[in-house]
Structure 1
Amino acid sequence: MQEVTMGENAEMGLPSRLPALLGIRHPIVQAGMSWASSSPALALAVARAGGLGTIAAGPMRPEDLVAAIRAVRAGTDAPFAVNVPLYNKRAAAFLDIAAAERVPVLIGSQGGPRGHVERFHALGAKWLHVVAAPEHAVKAEAAGVDALVVVGAEAGGHPPPNEVSTLVLVRAVVRAVTIPVIAAGGIADGAGICAAFALGAEGAQLGTRFLMTKEASVHEAYKQAVLAAGVGDTTLVGRGALPIRQIRNAFSAEVEAAERAGMAREDWLALIASRSLKDAALSGDVAQGKVEAGQSCGLVQDILPAAEVMARLVAETVAARRRLVA
């Protein structure tokens, strides 16, 4: 990997290699969120505002991913990313599209990066990899990834099964690797970003905060359910399998009741699989669907344009840093 010099973000005043590495103004990453950013609007808005906007390929049809990539590129010269869950049955097609379209940044998740990184480096792209344990971080660094997104238990969607918090996990990974670390999970404002840098991270990834934007392409009922939730109103559904952090609702209560009753594992897994994120995100079924959101939902009180969120995050980070220095 090419040596990248540590610089200081001119506006935020925090040391980070990410702006030079990725070509972005601010070391802020919008998480790839299925359905919410499986379209061009959110990624484009964040990229225009100086962050790393991310298209979530996971639920997309290949032709829709092509159209979204081209729409973002037509709307800005700024870098952007595509998140590809490597376990996805369409992952190979997504990677081929990203290569053909010369996507500047790939964010790989839920699978190993070895065998993919060299291909994208040859095209001049950067590869960020999502990890949830120090040992996975070390392997990803050895595979040649450019930076790591380290996701703690507070995160919405699929947090680490071991439920280690962002505070502990990020610090452990920073101590284990030399490449830049992007902290994720429980971060919704500038104070959280500043805290991530105090741990040794060089950037922050935010999901739930960007979910609560005008451009996020989920049902309004989904946004309202997240907006109404407090910091204690999420739960992990599917502990012991592939846990999902979501807003508590009738479905999560049904799963918890089944666990207390000692439901057979096969039936329990079938129950978990019987509902989906799509039910909530597209159809607006916030009672029975998987309303994925992080614990930081309790820190978000409004739904704003993504550009306004970016401007606020930068200002809040500057204020938090000045408070600490004072």
Structure 2
Amino acid sequence: MRIRTPVTDLLGIDLPVVQAGMSWVSSASALPLAVSRAGGLGVVAAGPMRIPDLSRVIDEMEHGTDQPFAVNLPLYRRGVDEVMDLLVARRPRVLIASQGGPRRYLARFRDAGTICLHVVAGVEHAVKAAEAGVDGLVVVGAEAGGHPAPDQVSTLVVVRAVAAAVPELPVIASGGFADGAGLAAALAIGAGAVQFGTRFLLSAEANVHRAYQDAVLRAGITDTRLVGRGLGPVRALANEFAERMVKLEDSGADLDARRAEFTRSTLRMAAYDGDVVHGKVEAGQSAGLIDSVLPAGEIVRRIAEEYVATVDRLPRPD
């Protein structure tokens, strides 16, 4: 099956399904390989990876599929310049950059022939990225896990606003999507694809502790918290860490006290060690829409089939 959009044309993929670059979860080849082989865009998360490990995973991706894949690079990570040197030399088809400005990397990757997508969470940054010359945007709304925008504008609103502000750029919507009905909704408001995070977190190939998956699988749509305002907020499941942060924020604790608590807990504690009580169990509100762990290729296939079924059910004008 093919579903053609401006994003699929830009990236050379069959389906407008992008697997989010999630630290630990896709910091290995199994998940992105499965997604790319199924016709979507698999994304390697370079955020927590050492350079030799990243180079090895890129080798595995290149040997494992002839379909496009991407590398996600948070620009705030330690040693980012060395990582960029490696990626420029390896020339991945697609770079998805986040947490920084595009002028820092754009010229180098453009010269290497890499398609550059930039993650934004509002119209102002979308316009600046467009003016800098990026090839497309990933637009993240409040429902997303990980690092959504602190202003908490919903995905449906921010994607519609960005699509209207920069109509020349392909847009990938991210935050709150779990199935083909969500894909249909995103395409209807001007996106050309959807980035699915939590749905692929709950895949058989996710490089994450099973306790993390079990906690997300049990969650409902109201079981996440946005915590860490002023510190680079994250959306994570309600647990002892998140509730302590909520109490500190509600009581007006000073920034240093909140920072100490916020940095004491890490994503690695939950994703790698399986400590879902004290770690940052990052997940989106869409966790409450998902009730199974499936092979990633099956997830891609189901999203495409659900999209077609959703469109067929929509009322037609008389």
Q: So what's the TM-score if we normalise by structure 2?
A: 0.97
Partner residue of 2:84 out of 70, 90, 95: 95
The equivalent of 1:129 in structure 2 is 118
Partner residue of 2:109 out of 120, 125, 136: 120
Q: Secondary structure at the match of 2:44?
A: strand
> Residue 305 in 1 paired to residue 295 in 2?
yes
Task: Please tell me whether the aligned partners of residues 180 and 305 of structure 2 are also in contact (alpha carbons under 8 angstroms).
Answer: yes
The equivalent of 2:164 in structure 1 is 175
> Residue 257 in 1 paired to residue 236 in 2?
no
The equivalent of 1:79 in structure 2 is 68
- CA RMSD of superposed structures (Å): 1.1
Q: Residues of 2 paired with 1:304 and 1:48: CA distance? A: 15
Partner residue of 1:143 out of 110, 132, 146: 132
The equivalent of 1:7 in structure 2 is none
Task: Please tell me whether the aligned partners of residues 106 and 125 of structure 1 are also in contact (alpha carbons under 8 angstroms).
Answer: yes
Counting only pairs closer than 5 Å after superposition, residues 306-321 of structure 1 correspond to structure 2 as 306-321=296-311
Q: Secondary structure at the match of 2:103?
A: coil
**Number of positions where the alignment pairs a residue of Structure 1 with one of Structure 2:** 315
Counting only pairs closer than 5 Å after superposition, residues 288-303 of structure 1 correspond to structure 2 as 288-303=278-293
Q: Percent identity of the aligned residues? A: 55
Q: Which amino acid aligns with 1:86?
A: L
Give CA deviations for 1:106-144 in whole Å, capped at 9, x if unaligned: 001000111422222222210011000101001111111
Q: Residues of 1 paired with 2:244 and 2:29: CA distance? A: 35
Counting only pairs closer than 5 Å after superposition, residues 49-64 of structure 1 correspond to structure 2 as 49-64=38-53
Partner residue of 1:200 out of 173, 190, 193: 190
Q: Which amino acid aligns with 2:33?
A: L
Task: Please tell me whether the aligned partners of residues 7 and 172 of structure 2 are also in contact (alpha carbons under 8 angstroms).
Answer: no
Give CA deviations for 1:136-191 in whole Å, capped at 9, x if unaligned: 00111111111100000000000001111101100000000011011000000000
Task: Please tell me whether the aligned partners of residues 11 and 318 of structure 1 are also in contact (alpha carbons under 8 angstroms).
Answer: no
The equivalent of 1:67 in structure 2 is 56
Q: Which amino acid aligns with 2:200?
A: F
- Residue segments in structure 2 that go unaligned for 5+ positions in a row: none
Q: So what's the TM-score if we normalise by structure 1?
A: 0.94
Shift of 1:305: 0.5
The equivalent of 2:313 in structure 1 is 323
Q: Residues of 1 paired with 2:2 and 2:30: CA distance? A: 25
Q: Which amino acid aligns with 1:281?
A: A
Give CA deviations for 1:227-268 in whole Å, capped at 9, x if unaligned: 000000001111233110000001111112223333232111
Shift of 1:92: 1.2
Task: Please tell me whether the aligned partners of residues 212 and 302 of structure 1 are also in contact (alpha carbons under 8 angstroms).
Answer: yes
Q: Secondary structure at the match of 1:73?
A: helix
Q: Which amino acid aligns with 1:280?
A: A
Q: More deviation in 261-270 or 225-234?
A: 261-270
Q: Residues of 1 paired with 2:126 and 2:300: CA distance? A: 28
Task: Please tell me whether the aligned partners of residues 71 and 94 of structure 2 are also in contact (alpha carbons under 8 angstroms).
Answer: yes
Partner residue of 1:47 out of 36, 47, 55: 36
Partner residue of 1:11 out of 2, 8, 15: 2
Q: Residues of 2 paired with 1:108 and 1:31: CA distance? A: 12
> Residue 287 in 1 paired to residue 290 in 2?
no
